[in-house]
Structure 1
Amino acid sequence: MKQVKEGDVVKVHYTGKLVNGEQFDSSVGREPLEFTVGAGQMIKGFDDAMPGMNLGEKKTINIAPEDGYGPRSEEAIIEFPKENVPADMVLEPGMPLTLSNQAGQPVPVIVVEVKEDIIILDANHFLAGQELIFDIELVEIAE
């Protein structure tokens, strides 16, 4: 039986959950996820779990924050001048926004707090600092 090795293009079905059981993503009911093993297209813990898997195999993996989306960073908490927000825009804690970085690339952020002159924003990935659990099923190894 063929086993996955680094450089293989694979298709997997997956369900991602937090330690408390809350599901944050799944390919079930959609097309399987396709990626090249070891090419850095996936978080490290997911990528590292693939070599040695057999076609049709299912496994559950636990991924520590450092092999997932990294630890939460205080540097990703941003104070944004309220004057840079359109006056008619109502901001509330928990609201998602998209800013642009210096290169013009979109940066998703969450409103943490709205003060008189500034808005506190969190640019951490929503899964940063979280231990992740993935149920993976290998459905194809490309020839």
Structure 2
Amino acid sequence: MAEIRTVTTLRRKRDEIISVIKLYERQLEQARADLAHVSAAMRIFDAGEDVKPYIDIHRIFKRTEKIALCREALAEGPMTTKDLALFLMRKKGLDTGDKVLAKAIANNLIHSLRMQASRGRIVMDGKRKGVCVWRLAETRQLELATA
């Protein structure tokens, strides 16, 4: 049975509208990226009081303080690297909304946690949504529970 000309025309029009919507979506993504770049440039040139100073992550924490705080957090149960970084930031009174600082602390923390894992003090329990999950080794949990 042959299709009705109206249905064929409507399908063609629907396909045309879909392709136009896809074009507009690509243009919208590009416009958002352009807006982000312009806003970043404005923040650079309009260096007012709200610009955060750069923080040297290595000087935020005293020697062994990071791991001691991580053990304190892990005593409550397994946590991801991101969660541990946010815990450290709260303990040090840093802005937990600063995503760049949180990511930098998390990246810095990974090395310390892996070194503790190689010593058998902390165990990596795999990954959750691409982020490592850490917990205290069993002997550590028993020591903390009895202390």
Please classify the TM superposition score into its range, dividing by the shorter chain length: under 0.3
Higher relative contact order (Cα pairs below 8 Å, separated by 6+ residues): 1
**Structure with higher strand content:** 1
Give the TM-score, by structure 2 length: 0.21
Q: Which has the higher helix share?
A: 2
